[in-house]
Each structure stands twice: as structure tokens, then as C-alpha cells.
Amino acid sequence: MDADKKQIWMNGQLIEVTEEVYAAYQKGDRKMRYFEKDLKTERFLLDENGQLLQVIPSREDSLDRLMADNAEQFADQHESVEDQVFRRISMEQLYEALQRLTNTEQNLIYALFFEEQTESQVGEILGITQQAVHRQKTRLLKKLKNFLEK
């Protein structure tokens, strides 16, 4: 084989190729290395004495690094005025609907949703089964939904 002939390693063997194929292969190989390594690796610029001049960060970031740096994907996380108004109106409507329930019903909702007790825990306190608590909760949620839809 002549020294000026180009070869590429493919499928475990050297294959003789033309200059054009070799150039295209080299270009593609360089592009793969760029995407696989260069984008993901930060680089360091050093002066002639070996002192660090600058750190060039990688162009591709990982979620782990962003989370470690407490980086936020969306800088403005403030609630819009419209969302604030809608939430306030919804809360007022919910408060009014809760006031329309009996004290026993209010206590059940409070235990389940505000104290975050399980249905089983509430059942033990009231001396009833978890299934009975679940049925009461479902009935109360439907009742509240009807109040809110009016």
C-alpha cells in the first residue's frame, strides 16, 4: 500500500479510501468529537507561566450542575396580577362555601386537608371506618363543588 493512500478504520479493519472520502470522514469524526466532548467540557486558558487566566465554561449544561448552583430556568417566577386576583377570588369563594357546611363537615375537611390527616386516622378519631370517612369526604367535596358552581 502506498504511503499517500488514505485509510480509515471501519468495522475492525483498515479500508483504503479516496482523498475525498477521507476528508469527509475526518470532518465527520471531528464534528462527533466536538459534540461528544468539546461542548461538554470547560476549558482553561493559561498564560506562559502556567497561571490560570480564564475559565471557558462548557456550552452544554447538566441539570445536576444547574440544581447545584441553584440556577433557575425562568428568572421571573412572580405570579401575574391576573393570577393573584383569580386566586384571591377563588379563595374567597371557597371560604364562603366552607362556611355553608355544618361544624361536623367543616371539622372533617379541616382534618383531611388542613391538618393532612389520612382517612384512616380521621376514622379512628371518629370511631368509623376509613371507607365511611372516604364516602363522607366525597359527598362533602361534591357539596362544595355545587356551592362553588353557583
Cell, residue 102:
355544618
First-to-last alpha carbon distance for the chain, in angstroms, is 89
Cell, residue 27:
470532518
CA dist., res. 133 & res. 114, Å (int): 16
User: What tens digit of pLDDT does each residue of 68-95 get?
Assistant: 666 555 556 677 888 888 889 888 998 8
Please tell me the predicted confidence (pLDDT) of residue 35: 72
pTM of the model: 0.46
Residue 117 above 90 pLDDT?
A: yes
User: What tens digit of pLDDT does each residue of 8-33 get?
Assistant: 888 888 889 998 988 898 898 888 87
Q: Which DSSP string corresponds to 42-100?
A: -EEEE-TTS-EEEEE--SS--HHHHHHTT--SSS--PPPHHHHHHHHHHHHHHHHHHHT
Q: CA separation (Å) from 28 to 6, 22, 31? A: 16, 10, 5
How confident is residue 52, by pLDDT bands cut at 50, 70 and 90?
A: confident
User: Residue 16 forms beta bridges with which residues?
Assistant: 7
- Are the C-beta atoms of 112 and 137 separated by less than 8 Å? yes
